[in-house]
Structure formats: structure tokens, C-alpha cells
Amino acid sequence: MARIVAGLGATHGPLIDTPPEAWDNLGLQDMNDPRMDFQAVLARAKPGMEAELTMEKKTERYAATQAAIRKLEEVLTRAKADTIVNISNLHGDIPDYEQQIFGVYTGAFLPKPVEAQHGPDFFRSERDESSRPSGAYPGDPELANYLFERLNNRGFDVHACVEKTAGGGIGWNYTFVYPNFAKEGTLPMVPFMLSRILPNQATPKRCYELGQALREEIEAWDPDRRVAVIASGGLSHQVVDEELDRIVVDALVEKDVDVLCSLPRDRLNASPGTPEILNWVTVEALMDAPMTLASYQPCYRSLAGTGSGVTFGYWEV
């Protein structure tokens, strides 16, 4: 029977591998982000943002992020996983109104990522995935199709994404696992998709229930396989909400199911990327043990408080 051998939680945004001296450029891009009213965000930003934007502060946070990435790489290496289930979200691959609440990619290969939405500097040259040929990374259709059938039998109404996404590839939020944590590039992956877009967005409680069901079904899978899981994304972004982030982190570390299942939907959707917290809720439900926090860094990149709650955590079995 299959075993779940490790869980990872990791922010995947541009701040994880953009040098701190270039964060201001990302902040300038935020000013023209059509998903938010930058001037309104600036008007309600917390006092003292200047202190959050010093080069010393940004360098310290970047260094902590790099140390956390190395820690998660060590955890995944120790786990000796045979495959990984990556729980994340479609990022502009299909129109918002067409996004399925739950989906699983069933292809044998992961196509190259779609073009980044964060400007030309989102991919750094040494980690550029956009030039990789289609099929560079292996999928795991056996596990993917098994989960599709078993979860649908349980009433989760999971959509099968066959061979390629509508936008032409699997996003970097899935394949970033390889340059950061599984550098040999041979670990098969099942990309599992949660819609972060309203109205097609599951509640935190439903995501927790999904995580519990995923655990039961993975452990009931016949092959003798070692399975790792990852929550890719989050926490709050493109506007940092430190208070919400710390509520979520504390609940993950303490395995506080009540808090995780009752996170307020309006708070989760106050900033465009923050519903990615649901990925972490799902993985917490998958794991027996509470999460160990590797790093939480509120990485600000503008006076408006835009940026990301860059977070890394892990569950070892």
C-alpha cells in the first residue's frame, strides 16, 4: 500500500528568487496590476511602511527565504518519495468563469509553464522554465486517474485535465518544485488544482474535507509507493496581511482545525492571491502531524504594503 511520507508548504511567487535589490521593480509593477486599486491600497497601508522597505530588512528576509528553501529540499530528500501530489491553482490558464472548483492533471508529462504574468523578470535566467521542452518533467497518470475516480465516487466532482491545460502548459507554481526541491527533475508529479477564483471557490471546510479524503485514498492505493504532498502558493499576496498570515501559521503549527475550517472568505479574498491559503488547509488535513514552520517573512515591496507573506513549512512522518 502507498504511504504519505512528507508534506511541504511553499510560497512560489517571484520574491523567492528575485534579489532584494530588484524588489522595488516588482513594487512598480504592482502600481499597474489590474487586479487591485493601487491608490486605494496605498491609502489604507499601515503606518511606518518605510521601515519595512530598507535594504537591510529586505536582505534579511531574502536570506531567511533561501535558508527555508534549502530546509524543504532536505526534507523532501530524506523522504525518498516516489511521487508528489502538488496542490495549487491555475494561474490564468483558462478564463476565471471556466475554472473548475477541483481538478487533477492526468497527463504523462508536464508541459512547459505558461508565460509568466509578473513581467519579464519573473523568471530568473538560472531558473527559467519557459525554455524547457514540453514533457521535460514526468506526470503520474496512474495515481492521477486513481484519485480522479476515487474522489468523484466520494462526491467531490473533480475535473480531469487531460494532457495539457487550456492555456498551453502547467504553470510555474507546479514545476517550481524541480529547481528548488527536486533538482534531479525525475520525480513524477500529480498537479491537483483548487480554484482560487470566486465564485468557483471551495470553502475552507470543504478543502479540509478534501485533504482528509486525499489522505484516505492515497493510503488505500495498492502500489507500494512513497508519496509526498505539497501546498504551493500563499500566504497573503499581492497585498500582505500579516495578521491573517499569523493566524493561519499558528493554526497550522497547532493543528487547529476549527480555525482553519472557519477562515473568513472575505478576508481570504481581500487580496488577489490570498485564497492560495486554501492549498495549505488541504495539505494540513492530509498530514497526521502539525506543520513545522521553516520561515515566515512578510516581504514588502512598496509603500502600499504590496508583496507576499513568504512562507515555508513542512510535515515529516
Separation of CA 191 from chain center: 11
Note the pTM of the prediction, 2 decimals: 0.91
Domain carrying residue 67? 3-316
pLDDT for position 113:
60
C-alpha triplet 76, 183, 91: angle, nearest 5°: 85
pLDDT for position 95:
65
Average pLDDT of 10-36? 92
For residue 300, the cross-strand partners are: 307
Among 223, 214, 286, smallest CA distance to 255 is for 286
Confidence of residue 126 (pLDDT cuts 50, 70, 90): very low
Lowest mean pLDDT among 25-29, 47-51, 119-123, 274-278: 119-123
- Does residue 212 have a cis peptide bond before it, meaning omega lies within 30 degrees of 0? no
Compute the radius of gyration of the chain from its Cα atoms: 18
pLDDT for position 168:
53
- Does residue 235 have a cis peptide bond before it, meaning omega lies within 30 degrees of 0? yes
**Count of beta carbons in the 10 Å neighbourhood of residue 35:** 10
C-alpha triplet 58, 62, 68: angle, nearest 5°: 150
Where helices occur in the chain by DSSP H, the ranges are 23-30, 38-43, 49-52, 55-79, 141-153, 172-175, 177-180, 204-219, 242-254, 257-261, 265-268, 277-286
Buried b (16+ CB within 10 A) or exposed e, 133-167: eeeebbbbbbbbebbbebbeeeebebbbbeebbeb
Buried b (16+ CB within 10 A) or exposed e, 7-29: bbbbbbbbbbbbebeebeebbeb
Among 310, 300, 297, 242, smallest CA distance to 50 is for 300
pLDDT of 149 above 60? yes
How many distinct structural domains can be found in the chain? Answer: 1
Q: Which amino acid is at 229?
A: V
pLDDT for position 119:
41
pLDDT tens track for 154-185: 999 999 987 655 455 678 899 999 999 999 99
Q: What CATH number has the domain bearing residue 49?
A: 3.40.830.10
Higher pLDDT, 301 or 116: 301
pLDDT of 38 above 60? yes
pLDDT of 148 above 70? yes
pLDDT tens track for 223-273: 999 999 999 999 999 999 999 999 999 999 999 999 999 999 999 999 889
